[in-house]
Structure 1
């Protein structure tokens, strides 16, 4: 799944494509700059930056026990 610039801007903040790209870099998210200079990435790249194995998704339903999520 592709995560486009508008989605990244909403989630990571920033007022310009360069701001969003800098925030992605600091978060360790690999991305590509499109023809318009706006960054985009994939769900797999976001998962990888959070230490989740590629192809593993967070569950859609709440598990019986809470997820262990490390906040940096």
Structure 2
């Protein structure tokens, strides 16, 4: 794991126990820091219509997402 990923993971772990208002304040601070450093939001590229006519089952993506974050939930439970 690279240093940036480890640091992000450590920050994520430190958010446990904060109230919803505290988390909103932290998010506002992050937005302020991004604005101050002129960091742009990630641009979303819309590929509307490119998969037209294909039958896609997005339930697999939902399952993959749930499994990929399961380890974090377990860490918080074990605290």
Q: Which has the higher strand share?
A: 1
TM-score (norm 2): 0.25
TM-score (norm 1): 0.27
Q: Which has the higher helix share?
A: 2
Bigger Rg, which one: 2
